[in-house]
Amino acid sequence: MLYVIEFLLFLAYTVFVFFIKSYSIILLLAIFNIILMIILKENIKDAFILVLKLMPFIIFTSVINMIITGISYGILIGLRLILVCNMTYIFSKKMTPQRLEYVIETLLKPLKIIKIDSREIGIMLCIGIAFIPIIQREISQIKYSLNAKGFKINLINVIKRPNYILAPLITSVIKRVGEIENSLLSKGYVS
């Protein structure tokens, strides 16, 4: 039940951040995030690196909002996104896919009334989340092997020759799906 409460608090925090219109409250939430990371013994440097990696998306979103609604609102959107990304980092370090499966399964139990199996939805979500790092790793390996073969990876080459990346990626993903299917069959999850 503790995991369900953590998940609901995370969702409430995320929604609350997007209703904030005051820079002082955003500053207080940033301090709260840092204190929470210190209490939970999370690596602040890794959180900062994650935000830096997401900065192109954050800047793009902020600029679009500056153009549409004004500079002040665009900056506010950027700060909100940074807070949410940071809290997501903290949450993801504490919530394993298995715990998330339990949370989703627990929250969706009322759907049993209309004969929807919340356990299957939880398992599908868990598999989907577990696939994200697998795909990232596969893309890194494909990039490394293409660089070793002398293929320059840039936007133009990827557009001209998408099969150089997509073919090995799709093959690898299909292989992984087969492995996961066999694993689920052997454990009795799928009939």
Model pTM score:
0.67
The pLDDT of residue 103: 82
The pLDDT of residue 62: 92
The pLDDT of residue 63: 92
The residues, ordered by sequence, that sit 6+ positions from 129 with a Cβ below 8 Å of its Cβ are 97, 100
Using the predicted structure, report yes or no on whether residue 19 has a pLDDT greater than 70. Answer: yes
Q: State the average pLDDT over residues 7-17.
A: 89
The pLDDT of residue 38: 87
- Rg of the chain over Cα atoms, rounded to whole angstroms, equals 21
Using the predicted structure, report yes or no on whether residue 190 has a pLDDT greater than 70. Answer: no
* Residue with tokens 């939805």, as numbered in its chain: 121
Find the helix packing angle between 163-187 and 118-148, rounded to 10°: 140
17 or 173, which is more confident:
17
pLDDT digits (tens, 9 = 90+) for 87-146: 888 888 887 777 877 888 888 888 778 887 777 777 777 777 777 788 888 888 888 888
What is the distance of C-alpha 50 from the center of its chain? 11
DSSP characters for 19-88?
T---HHHHHHHHHHHHHHHHHTT--HHHHHHHHHHHHHHHHHHHHHHHHHH-HHHHHHHHHHHHHHHHHH
The pLDDT of residue 191: 53
pLDDT digits (tens, 9 = 90+) for 176-186: 878 877 777 77
